[in-house]
């Protein structure tokens, strides 16, 4: 998130690890913009942060041409800020999965086209393996999957039409900050065929963040799972190959 307070520190760390695949996490809501607030008044609140209401933002993006112009300018500024880091752009996605919104996706693809065929995250979490691994939230997961299914399908169709590589599945959307070792082990055993992204928010502690945490959010659990020797061993035992989004550029799955 190039507008975030820790962006400069993150860039310094990434430069020290040249094999790390670094993506751009575009923020159009619940985050810090790159452009001055005076240039994007329709996108920010009184504190200069990107507005937090996802539903209201979606309506404004769709109905108001002036808002769309500001939105495109902010998206373009974030791409340019990433380019200024000198890091290789491995992939791009949008905070809160807002590229499920057709207007946001259209602007994202328009700007991304200027930076080459950059892979994009597909926010599609299959219900059955997600529920079987977590063992809870059946109704919530089912309703969410049914609601998001057509939107995710439209995203995938547009990405394919534009020759943009993407993943097939995304796991962790319903378990943000709860991706502990046991859950990850169960997910690995239930992964469907294809390219799956596991969605983590790892940290040692949770600092200040414009995006309010989900109930039960504990980023330390995500970090523990990612550094778990048992998880690493399970990947080998199950024959799961770890890849970056950039590895998908040879062909859309």
Domains of the chain and any CATH numbers: 1-118 (3.20.20.370), 121-253 (no CATH)
Please measure the distance between the N-terminal and C-terminal CA atoms of the chain and give it in whole angstroms: 27
| Cα–Cα distance for residue pair 191/194, rounded to 1 Å | 8
Alpha helices in 46-137 (DSSP H): 54-63, 65-85, 102-112, 127-134
The residue with tokens 């300018």 is: 73
**Nearest C-alpha neighbor of 125 from the set 171, 181, 74, 89:** 171
> What does the radius of gyration of the chain's CA atoms come to, in whole angstroms?
18
Q: In a 3-state reduction of DSSP, which class is residue 38?
A: helix
Which residues, 6 or more positions from 44, have their beta carbon under 8 angstroms from its beta carbon? 33, 37, 50, 51
Q: Compute the C-alpha angle 12/16/21, nearest 5°.
A: 90
The pLDDT of residue 16 is 96
Report the chain (253 residues): mean pLDDT per 10 consecutive residues: 95 94 96 96 95 91 94 98 95 95 95 89 95 95 93 95 94 92 97 95 74 75 95 97 85 40
The confidence score (pLDDT) of residue 218 equals: 87
Q: Which two tokens stand for residue 45?
A: 């609140």
Distance CA 90, CA 249 (A): 10
Confidence (pLDDT) at 248: 87
**Residue 196 neighbours by CB under 8 Å, 6+ apart:** 167, 168, 169, 170, 171
Name which of 222, 134, 230, 206 is nearest 174 in CA terms: 134
Query: Which pLDDT score is estimated for 251?
Result: 44
Q: What is the DSSP string of 158-197?
A: HHHHTT--B-SEEE-TTSTT---HHHHHHHHHHPPSS-EE
SS3 87: coil
* Six-digit token string for 158: 């547009």
Neighbours of 249 (CB within 10 A): 17
Residue-level pLDDT at 252: 39
pLDDT of residue 206: 67
Question: Whole-prediction pTM value?
Answer: 0.91
Cα separation, 108 vs 93, in Å, equals 9
- Angstrom distance (rounded) from CA 33 to CA 45: 11
């Amino acid at each position: 998130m190039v507008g975030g307070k820790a962006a400069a520190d993150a860039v310094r760390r990434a430069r020290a690890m040249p094999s790390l695949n670094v993506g751009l996490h575009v923020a159009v809501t619940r985050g810090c913009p790159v452009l001055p607030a005076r240039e994007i008044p329709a996108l920010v609140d009184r504190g200069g942060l990107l507005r937090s209401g996802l539903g209201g933002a979606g309506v404004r993006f769709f109905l108001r041409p002036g808002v769309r112009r500001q939105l495109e300018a902010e998206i373009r500024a974030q791409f340019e800020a990433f380019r200024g880091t000198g890091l290789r752009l491995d992939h791009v996605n949008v905070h809160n999965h807002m590229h499920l919104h057709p207007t946001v996706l259209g602007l994202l693809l328009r700007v991304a086209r200027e930076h080459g065929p950059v892979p994009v995250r597909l926010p599609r979490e299959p219900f059955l393996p997600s529920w079987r691994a977590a063992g809870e939230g059946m109704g919530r997961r089912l309703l969410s999957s049914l609601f998001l299914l057509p939107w995710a399908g439209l995203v995938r169709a547009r990405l394919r039409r534009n020759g943009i590589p993407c993943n097939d599945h995304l796991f962790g959307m319903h378990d943000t900050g709860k991706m502990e070792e046991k859950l990850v082990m169960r997910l690995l055993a239930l992964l469907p065929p294809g390219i799956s992204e596991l969605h983590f928010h790892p940290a040692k502690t949770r600092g200040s963040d414009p995006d309010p945490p989900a109930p039960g959010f504990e980023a330390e659990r995500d970090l523990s799972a990612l550094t778990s020797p048992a998880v690493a061993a399970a990947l080998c035992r199950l024959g799961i190959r770890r890849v970056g989004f950039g590895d998908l550029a040879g062909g859309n799955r």
